[in-house]
């Protein structure tokens, strides 16, 4: 990423950049332009990710799904978008009104912030895979949401199996609790590497929350640096 763009994002995240008196270069950790996985190259991955017929069938199944009452409230079902062989997979909880209207995950103001976060990590949106656990907008009542999570998980599991990400980012507390089958608070979950079916998982605050609580942006930036380190050097 160009230095000017990176510094702009750090400013958006509320992170101060200290300038050395010796050389005027910002004394912050340099973000690599692109992470090269230490594991097997992309070409050696399962070819299912490039089998468009499988993804088309999944999209058709999701868009016609009536397994729970959330289908009654949707305008569009959210399947996902991005690189189907991505190293990093972002998973939110459920579509909000904007995402439901546009038929895409992580859009609107909070989606713009997430896009800037991805850019600061050295990628563009098309480099990662973005999706949600629950595929349809619905009511936020706990019982209704839990039922929707249970019904939608098979779709998500299929996506994870096909993408084969090196790491998962659970975006927001609801997504983190669902993916980890945990009732712990976000403060207990975040900042640590967890595992879901042997895939490393990091939970971060949802961009919508960061817009409401800008002081939390610094912590999220540190979490993203942990993610970058894990992708580059592996999980210790």
Cα 43 to Cα 46, 74, 128, 200: the distances in Å are: 8, 37, 17, 22
The structural domains of the chain, with segments of one domain joined by +, span 53-233
pLDDT digits (tens, 9 = 90+) for 3-24: 555 565 566 566 555 444 444 3
The model's pTM is: 0.82
- For the cut 80, the answer to whether the pLDDT of residue 33 exceeds it is no
* Mean pLDDT of all residues in 84-107: 95
* Mean pLDDT of all residues in 100-128: 95
- Domain covering 53-233 in this structure, CATH number: 3.40.470.10
* Mean pLDDT of all residues in 218-231: 93
* Mean pLDDT of all residues in 25-54: 50
């Amino acid at each position: 990423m160009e230095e000017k763009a990176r510094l702009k994002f750090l400013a958006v995240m509320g992170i101060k950049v200290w300038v050395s008196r010796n050389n005027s270069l910002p004394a912050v950790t340099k973000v690599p332009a692109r992470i090269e996985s230490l594991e097997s190259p992309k070409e050696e991955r399962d070819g299912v990710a490039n089998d468009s017929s499988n993804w088309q069938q999944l999209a058709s199944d999701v868009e016609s799904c009536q397994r729970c009452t959330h289908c009654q409230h949707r305008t569009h079902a959210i399947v996902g978008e991005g690189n189907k062989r991505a190293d990093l997979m972002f998973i939110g909880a459920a579509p909000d009104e904007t995402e439901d209207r546009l038929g895409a995950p992580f859009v609107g103001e909070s989606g713009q912030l997430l896009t800037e976060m991805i850019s600061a990590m050295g990628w563009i949106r098309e480099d990662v895979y973005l999706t949600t656990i629950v595929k349809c907008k619905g009511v936020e009542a706990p019982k209704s949401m839990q039922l929707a999570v249970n019904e939608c998980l098979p779709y998500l599991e299929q996506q994870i199996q096909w993408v084969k990400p090196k790491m998962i980012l659970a975006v927001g507390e609801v997504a983190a609790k669902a993916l980890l089958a945990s009732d712990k608070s976000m403060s207990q979950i975040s900042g640590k590497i967890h595992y879901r079916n042997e895939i490393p998982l990091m939970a971060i605050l949802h961009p919508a929350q960061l817009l409401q609580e800008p002081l939390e942006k610094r912590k999220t930036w540190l979490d993203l640096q942990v993610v970058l380190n894990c992708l580059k050097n592996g999980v210790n």
